[in-house]
Amino acid sequence: MKIAIVFGSTTRYTEMVADKIASRPGFENADLIDVEDMNFASLTDYNLLIFGIPTWDYGEPPSSWQDVWDELDQFDFSGQLCAFYGLGDQSGYARWFVDAMGILHDKIAAKGAIVIGEWSTAGYQFDSDKALTKDKKNFVGLAIDDVNQQALTDERIARWCSHLNSLISATNKFERPDGKNKHCRDR
């Protein structure tokens, strides 16, 4: 399976999480792509796109994502397997905790992506719901708080990656409407 971890980071913490994901079993050969260097046309070469984004200030995507934000609306994610992780500060910015992940998720899901990798809200304290699933029981992706819960980051990444591997292994392939099959067992 060909995997890309697409991240944007101002302070490099989102990149560090990308590196940690890429060190996990099943993700060792993932290509790390800084969103500032991203070529949208190359995204169709991947079976799985993992998007990483921190929440900046009051629930906003960081400046590293601003240059490509509108381009995301032009890209057809139909049938593309995608997962998300977001970084935030649930104590200092509880009203906006990982909101950018939810905003990015909604933007890409609306363009037809097949989204996997929900993550439980258990163990977090926050007030925002932008990064929650419709039933409000889970995050739309992995939520990381390296400010207040840094000791939990590596364990959370390991469990989330294991969960992603299970989801991928359970499915032989993802059919894209354009006829391009996303074979998930080709590791």
**pLDDT tens per residue, range 101-115:** 999 999 999 999 999
Assign domain 3-183 one CATH number from 2.40.30.40, 3.30.465.10, 3.40.50.360, 3.40.50.10470.
Answer: 3.40.50.360
Q: In this structure, what token pair is assigned to residue 64?
A: 């590293």
Q: What is the arithmetic mean of pLDDT over 159-171?
A: 92
Tokens 């925002």 locate to 128
pLDDT in tens, 5-56: 999 988 889 999 999 999 999 999 999 999 999 988 899 999 999 999 999 8
Cα pseudo-dihedral 165, 171, 176, 180, rounded to 10:
80
Neighbours of 101 (CB within 10 A): 29
- Say how far apart CA 186 and CA 79 lie, in whole Å: 17
How many C-beta atoms surround the C-beta of residue 73 within 10 A?
10
Higher pLDDT pick, 56 / 142: 142
What contacts 134, CB < 8 A, 6 or more positions away? none
Cα 122 from Cα 144, distance rounded (Å): 12
Give yes or no for residue 176 having a pLDDT over 80: no
User: What Cα–Cα distance (Å) separates residue 133 from each residue in 64, 76, 109, 140, 170?
Assistant: 25, 22, 12, 5, 22
- In sequence order, the 6+-apart residues with CB closer than 8 A to the CB of 182 are 47, 48, 79, 80, 81, 173, 174, 175, 176
Q: Which of 134-138, 168-172, 177-181 has the lowest mean pLDDT?
A: 177-181
